[in-house]
Structure 1
Amino acid sequence: MDEQLVALKSALSRNDVLLEVMSRTASLELPGWYVTAGCLFQTVWNVVTDRSPTSGIKDYDIFYFDSSDLSWDAEDEVIKAAQRAFTGLAADVEIRNEARVHLWYEQKFGVPCPAYDSTEAAIDSFAATTCCLGVRLETDGRWRIYAPHGLSDVFGMVLRPNPVLAPRQVYEAKAERWLQQWPELTVLPWP
């Protein structure tokens, strides 16, 4: 796993936008934050397939976890602070408080979501295990990497379903979209 962590950091470091997102997010000092999801594994896929590191990346997702205030107003304040922090960056950055997901998830996706107790728990519930990845800069500048399913599928370009929360159609829609950009992917069927 250590070699894969070194390889991950090396691949992600080729995406200058991602590095800037991580740096600016660290300055916000959000509790339990990670840059997560597509911008990470898609950067790796781009590096593995010799594309530009930012090719096909739709946005940069940031998760944080603050259960002290579950109001939309509190999350919106953080979103506005992030918008100011990301001014001038040529990328769409989406930031969400994962302590609030259970309040809106069912309306959006049609299935209930239990309340998370951490950002890691939210990352654990992505539609594909390949997507379960988070990276942040610690206060000392070191990278913290969260990869509960390891990194073999990320580097091997294998999309493996994670049927713990997201419905089958979410997984299949993402797989279809990603196959258009990265036809080298191996998409495993929903169980």
Structure 2
Amino acid sequence: MTNAERTPDWDRLGDPYASTEEERLAALVAILQAIPHVIDILAAVRDLKLPDAWLVSGGIYQTVWNVMTGRPVLHGIKDFDIIYFDGSDLSYEAEDTVIKRVNRALPDLANLLEVRNQARVHLWYEQRFGRPYRPLDCAMDSLTTYAARTHAVAACINEDGTLKPYAPFGLANLFGMRLVPNYVQPNEKTYVEKADRMKELWPELTVLPWTG
């Protein structure tokens, strides 16, 4: 039995008053450590020594939901988002070089990887989404702009081999399977589209409406 399977009482972890954030962080670490392809991604990112690099969003929270609901660990996962922050070269060519390096390091997962330099998102965001996007200060700054607070979760492996999670809005909503809007950006369309897809894949999910 894996550490993830031994994690008790999902309902308690999803209740912000019945458990602590430290318990939720420990549960997240136990789940991720039990999933070989997640560890392979995290280890490769560390070994490539990309600046301020993390695995973020769906590859983490959807993995957790699959473990919680007993589904195959890749159920519903379209991609694994790897972000890093390198302000020294904002060209697409530099980013593309990093993308190719990551793909070579993880050939069996290359078709599921999406690698993006967060230092250059503001250069293409408005053309793609029709609204401006401020320059970010670091990779984790991007998590505060996600359409759902629930999605704002990241992990990396430190040089000493320990797994480091990060969730600026906490993890109660993730373990509670609640999709909660984040109003920092006018992302209602994105939020609704993602919510519809996720509700179909994980019917247990509670979706809070966008009211901002």
Which of 179, 182, 187 pairs up with 1:167?
Answer: 187
Distance in 1, Cα, partners of 2:35 & 2:79: 13
For residue 53 of structure 1, report the CA deviation from its aligned partner: 2.0
DSSP-derived class of the 2:164 partner: strand
Which of 71, 86, 93 pairs up with 2:113?
Answer: 93
Aligned-pair identity in percent equals 45
1:34-183 aligned at under 5 Å gives the runs 34-89=54-109, 92-183=112-203
AA partner of residue 42 (structure 2): M
Q: In the superposition, relative to structure 1, how do residues 10 and 132 fare at CA in structure 2: closer, same or farther (>3 Å)?
A: same
Deviation track 1:113-141 (CA, whole Å, cap 9, x = no partner) reads 00001001111111100000110001111
AA partner of residue 51 (structure 2): P
How many residues get paired? Answer: 191
DSSP-derived class of the 1:40 partner: helix
RMSD: 1.2
Match of 2:3 in 1: none
AA partner of residue 142 (structure 1): T
Distance in 2, Cα, partners of 1:94 & 1:2: 29
For residue 104 of structure 1, report the CA deviation from its aligned partner: 0.5
TM-score for the superposition, normalised by structure 2: 0.87
For residue 76 of structure 1, report the CA deviation from its aligned partner: 1.0
Distance in 2, Cα, partners of 1:66 & 1:23: 19
For residue 93 of structure 1, report the CA deviation from its aligned partner: 0.7
Distance in 2, Cα, partners of 1:143 & 1:30: 16
DSSP-derived class of the 1:78 partner: helix
Instruction: Verify the 8 A CA contact 2:103 2:109 in the aligned structure 1.
Output: no
For residue 91 of structure 1, report the CA deviation from its aligned partner: 5.3
Match of 2:10 in 1: none
Distance in 2, Cα, partners of 1:78 & 1:92: 15
Distance in 2, Cα, partners of 1:190 & 1:105: 22
Distance in 2, Cα, partners of 1:64 & 1:156: 28
Match of 2:210 in 1: 190
AA partner of residue 38 (structure 1): G
Q: Greater helix percent: which structure?
A: 2
DSSP-derived class of the 1:136 partner: strand
For residue 78 of structure 1, report the CA deviation from its aligned partner: 0.6
Instruction: Verify the 8 A CA contact 2:103 2:110 in the aligned structure 1.
Output: no
Structure showing greater radius of gyration is 2
Q: Which runs of 4+ in 1 moved over 4 A?
A: none
Distance in 2, Cα, partners of 1:108 & 1:168: 16
Distance in 1, Cα, partners of 2:62 & 2:35: 10
Deviation track 1:66-97 (CA, whole Å, cap 9, x = no partner) reads 00111111111111111111113375111100
Distance in 1, Cα, partners of 2:197 & 2:100: 30
